[in-house]
Structure 1
Amino acid sequence: MIAAIWAQDENGLIGKDDKLPWYLPDDLQFFKQMTENNTIVMGRKTFEGMGKNLLPNRQTIVLTSDQSYDGNGAIVMHSVDDVLKYAEEFDGITFITGGGEIYKTFLPHTDVLYRTLIQSTFEGDTYFPYIDWGEWNIVSTSEGSVNDDNPYPHDFETYQRHQS
């Protein structure tokens, strides 16, 4: 199964300079909870925006056209088909984790969406691609914690693609 997971502001913003434009520990905890013991797929810029650090208890795939790319322990793949084949054979969930072009590329192959919607606006340069919400059913929504560490109201939403 392929799922996309991301946080966005009210305008669909997801990134600034290949990093998150906000600090929201509640969302980071949600990301960890959902992706642990699964596989995460990201583009080279997103991986480098994380300092090429591997997240514990997850298999990381970096998608890049650079044939000689050093993934620092991540699996490096060079085609969408390679990732799709991996996802088909993998028992767990293959999570698409960014950036914008990677989301756009894999959206047609995605079964489930996990979106954190932050009720605020930020400055940045990367937006989540267009989604035809008519293709999706909302399965659940829950309110995130707002406190000193998590100053922005936010909701965790799960969507399932309509079965055709």
Structure 2
Amino acid sequence: MIHKNISIIVAVAENFAIGKNNDLLFHLPNDLKRFKAITSGHSLIMGRNTLLSLPKWPLPNRRHIVITDKTDDVFPGCEVVFSIEEAIQKVQGEEEAFVIGGGMVYRQFYPQAGKLYLTLVHKPFEADVYFPEIDFSEWQENKREDFFDEANGFDYSYIDLERK
């Protein structure tokens, strides 16, 4: 079932790589600013490792919903849930909630998400976590901006997609 209010926000390499050793693959300051601008004022849904990988949490002006299988997990300033369904229930009635990772959480939400905010780095990376392969025929492109990052020496694009 597609949930129109569930959006995924992710930065992926062209080979769908998203992370290695519980860290991001590349540092794009403008992408971090975009993430903040898009998600501010909304709920964030994430796995426990994604939360723990954040430099500090909770992120300001955002509700944090952490999916875990550890019943004794307590994360101050965050709400803990134990299933994808429970996370979806928590954001029912909200205009938009954002799934921010990690790999397992993305895989489970991908078939249900109504929107995808994609930062696509036009270069492959070695990784241990990958995003599900995107079938672009299932998505309508609403907006696209292309950039070159001098510090990293690669092109990347912001692509906002909505499920057809």
> Could you tell me how far 1:132 is from its partner in structure 2?
2.9
Gaps of 5+ in 2: none
Asked if the contact 1:26–1:145 (Cα under 8 Å) also holds between the matched residues in 2, the reply is no
Q: Which of 98, 101, 122 pairs up with 1:98?
A: 101
Gaps of 5+ in 1: none
* Larger strand share, 1 or 2: 2
What is aligned with 1:124? Answer: 127
Shift of 1:82: 1.1
Name 1:70's counterpart in structure 2. Answer: 74
Distance 1:82 1:23, change over 3 A: same
- Structure 1 match to 2:12: 8
CA contact (8 A) 1:3 1:93 kept: yes
Once the two structures are TM-superposed, the CA of residue 33 in structure 1 deviates from its matched residue by: 0.8
Q: Which range is displaced more, 114-123 or 38-47?
A: 114-123
Give the AA of the match of 2:162. Answer: Q
Matched, 1:57 2:61: yes
**TM-score w.r.t. length of structure 1:** 0.90
Shift of 1:83: 1.1
What is the TM-score with the length of structure 2 in the denominator? 0.90
Alpha-carbon shift at residue 35 of structure 1 (Å): 0.4
> Judging changes above 3 Å, is the alpha-carbon distance between structure 1 residues 73 and 54 closer, same or farther for their aligned structure 2 residues?
same
Q: Equivalent residue for 2:31? A: 27
Q: Secondary structure at the match of 2:10?
A: strand
Taking only aligned residues, the RMSD between alpha carbons, in angstroms, comes to 1.6
Q: How many residues align?
A: 160
Identical positions, percent: 34
Q: What residue in structure 2 maps to residue 44 of structure 1? A: 48
Report the equivalent of 1:108. Answer: 111
Shift of 1:32: 0.7
Q: Which residue of 1 aligns with 2:140?
A: 137
